[in-house]
Amino acid sequence: MTNDGYFIGKSGKRYRYADIARLVCDNAPETLGKHISIQLVALGLLEEMEGGVTPCGLPFTFASKPHPTRKQLTSSAMFHTPGLFRALQNDYRIKGKTRARAIQILSDGYRLSPEEARGLLSGSIPVEIDETAGTITYET
């Protein structure tokens, strides 16, 4: 018995499930979370698998959709996060150095990637603002 699932295709080649999952993520992301037969068709491997041998149990899917992570930015004694966030959103609307500085402040202050900070400030990542609790909550 093996911990690393695989099948042997009709060509005799061994296909590890983990390798197929990477191929799905890279080449057929529209099939994430769907049945393995759909993923194998998208990769052109269905006939290879059906004509081969499968000594390991098959999963429902090789690669699932990523589950969103819920994150929260909280206030401190120095900063009320909702107020700072709104000020940075206003700065973000100004192109050039002001926008770059707003991204850098949010990124550095809350240890976010610049891409995540940009998404929050631009509104492409929806946020829930709780004034009373002094928090900003979002999912990535």
Report how many domains make up the chain. 2
Q: How much is the pLDDT for 66? A: 85
Out of 65, 85, 116, a domain closes at: 65
Residues 55 and 74 in one domain: no
Residues 76 and 98 in one domain: yes
| pLDDT tens digits, one per residue of 84-99 | 999 999 999 999 999 9
Task: State both tokens at 12.
Answer: 């005799």
Residues 24 and 57 in one domain: yes
Name the residue type at position 86. Answer: R
Residue 70 three-state SS: strand
Q: How much is the pLDDT for 6? A: 94
Confidence of residue 55 (pLDDT cuts 50, 70, 90): confident
Between CA 35 and CA 55 the distance in angstroms is 19
Between CA 131 and CA 30 the distance in angstroms is 38
Residues 57 and 79 in one domain: no
Average pLDDT (31-42) is: 96
Q: How much is the pLDDT for 89? A: 97
Average pLDDT (114-137) is: 96
Average pLDDT (1-20) is: 88
Between CA 113 and CA 54 the distance in angstroms is 42
Residues 76 and 31 in one domain: no
Q: How much is the pLDDT for 3? A: 64
Out of 32, 48, 65, a domain closes at: 65
Domain span at residue 4 reads 1-65
Name the residue type at position 125. Answer: I
Q: How much is the pLDDT for 1? A: 41
| pLDDT tens digits, one per residue of 70-84 | 999 999 998 899 999
CA 68 to chain centre: 7
Distances (CA, A) of 83 to 9, 24, 53, 72, 114: 59, 42, 61, 15, 20
First vs last C-alpha separation in the chain: 37
